[in-house]
A and B are shown apart, each in its own frame.
Chain A
Amino acid sequence: MKMDKKALVFTLDAFVATLLFIAVLSYLVFSYRERAINPHMEDMASDIVTLLDYNDTFSASAPAIEDALNQTLPAGYKMQVNLTKNMGSVVSTSLKMPVNKDVACGRRVVAISSAGSITDFGILRYCIWMG
């Protein structure tokens, strides 16, 4: 009888420890996966704006930038860009950033051309999210 009680305590102890171990492990794995979304989206957004910058897209108007973005973005993603030119003007795409979603943002320096030569520079701020 004494031996049975000892075995029960040992089993319960092992069971509770296993449960706690699984709980901690799941928390770590899921929280890591959630945080891993951001760098992936940030890299993707950086690649997209680099490509558009190479094609001189940011020298164009906001609707043209929006068109180029829509053609380049993979399905299921949305992006917002805001370009502040050194000479003062600001070009923004129309999408607003969501408040309840995971958003990755970045920025880059861009050269702005007019009539085939660079005339100004600006800071491009961009954000990407799934939507």
Chain B
Amino acid sequence: MRQKRALITISTFFLVGILVSLFSLTLEQRREEAGYFSRIDNYFSSVEASINKMIKMNTNINISSNGTALRIGQGLPAKDFSSINSYFISFLNNLSESDAAINVTLVRGEFPLEVYPHGIVYKNPDLEKIEVFYNQNLTKYHVDIRVSDNIQNCQWNNFVAGTFPVEIRAEGHNKVCETAASVSLGTLAQYQIRVESNLKDIYVNFSNTILITKQTEVPQTNVTTTFILREKPTLLFQSDRINVTMKRFNVTKTDYPRIYENL
């Protein structure tokens, strides 16, 4: 009887010991996995931070927001961002780290910023143009154009009244043109700003996209675009989707990098 009890005590003790050890091992494994997730996040954040520094230092873009208003200021001609961007992408793709693999996919030559979650895209089709792909999440559009020259005149060339509210302000050395109108989406409406010194133009076209074009001969021009949106935005750098993979656990984080500046 006594032997039986001793056996029960010993076996219970060993059973509890085994359970505690298994629990401890699982806990350790989970902690290790959590550590790897945190490392993936840190690594991803460092790539984002590098992109943010590139945008801050290698473009002439200023980004700020106030509630649902997002403001993107840019000088035209835009700075050529493609060479440093390509260099960064090739650097990331050639990294050989022991347990991290970084892949950058969806590389495009332009410089698109996506206003998330609204699906509005801001990009430079070339160094003298700004194009905005918009939708019904954009409730109002304001553009402020400052040109280092005298303005001869400003006028609407095509105008079809509609329901989408736009405001255009153009400031030269000699005068300011201001217009507020509601345009019809999908039908071309063109606002023309003619500068005095060489009679060249800046055009603001409203159609399926909003396209601001500065003719090359027009001197340096600053264009500040203000989007009034339905809700507070996040700005994503859309051109490069980044995958960070930790090979050991085969865990990948895939996302577009966010732009942090003043948002």
A-B contact sample (18 more), CB < 8 A, given A42-B38, A111-B88? A9-B2, A20-B13, A24-B17, A24-B20, A28-B20, A35-B31, A39-B35, A42-B35, A50-B46, A53-B46, A106-B39, A107-B100, A109-B47, A110-B46, A111-B50, A118-B50, A121-B91, A121-B92
Q: Does A86 contact B (CB under 8 A)?
A: yes
Distance in angstroms between the alpha carbons of A43 and B6 in the assembled complex:
49
Find the B residue at minimum CB distance from A28: B24
Contact (A123, B54) CB under 8 Å given A28-B20, A109-B43 = no
Q: Which of A32, A118, A121 contacts B57 (CB 8 A)?
A: A118
The digit string for B115-150, where 1 denotes a CB below 8 A from any CB of A, is: 000000000000000000000000000000000000
Q: Does A96 contact B (CB under 8 A)?
A: no
Are A109's CB and B46's CB within 8 A?
Answer: yes
Distance in angstroms between the alpha carbons of A54 and B24 in the assembled complex:
39
9 A–B contact pairs at CB < 8 A?
A: A24-B17, A38-B35, A39-B38, A42-B38, A43-B38, A107-B97, A111-B49, A118-B54, A123-B95
Chain B contact-residue range equals 20 to 34
Q: Which chain A residues border B39 with CB–CB below 8 Å?
A: 106
Tell me the residues in window 25-69 of chain B with beta carbons closer than 8 Å to chain A beta carbons.
Answer: 27-28, 31, 34-35, 38-39, 42-43, 45-47, 49-50, 53-54, 57-58
Find the A residue at minimum CB distance from B100: A107
The digit string for A74-87, where 1 denotes a CB below 8 A from any CB of B, is: 00000000000010
Chain B interface mostly: helix
Q: B: which residues have CB within 8 A of A?
A: 2, 6, 9, 13, 17, 20, 24, 27-28, 31, 34-35, 38-39, 42-43, 45-47, 49-50, 53-54, 57-58, 84, 87-88, 91-92, 95, 97, 100, 102
Distance in angstroms between the alpha carbons of A17 and B17 in the assembled complex:
11
Q: Which of B42, B46, B53 contacts A113 (CB 8 A)?
A: B53
Contact (A53, B49) CB under 8 Å given A28-B24, A108-B42 = yes
Find the A residue at minimum CB distance from B34: A39
Number of interface residues, chain A, beta carbon within 8 A: 30
Q: A: which residues have CB within 8 A of B?
A: 9, 13, 17, 20, 24, 28, 32, 35, 38-39, 42-43, 46, 50, 53-54, 56, 86, 106-111, 113, 116-118, 121, 123
Find the B residue at minimum CB distance from A113: B57
Interface centre among B13, B57, B84, B95 (most CB of A within 10 A): B57
Distance in angstroms between the alpha carbons of A117 and B81 in the assembled complex:
11
Are B20's CB and A54's CB within 8 A?
Answer: no
Q: Which chain A residues border B17 with CB–CB below 8 Å?
A: 24
Distance in angstroms between the alpha carbons of A118 and B88 in the assembled complex:
10
Q: Which of B9, B28, B43, B84 contacts A17 (CB 8 A)?
A: B9
Closest chain-B Cβ to A2's Cβ sits at a distance in Å of 11
The 7 closest A-B pairs by CB, nearest first: A108-B46, A111-B50, A111-B53, A109-B46, A121-B91, A117-B57, A86-B91
Q: Which chain A residues border B47 with CB–CB below 8 Å?
A: 109
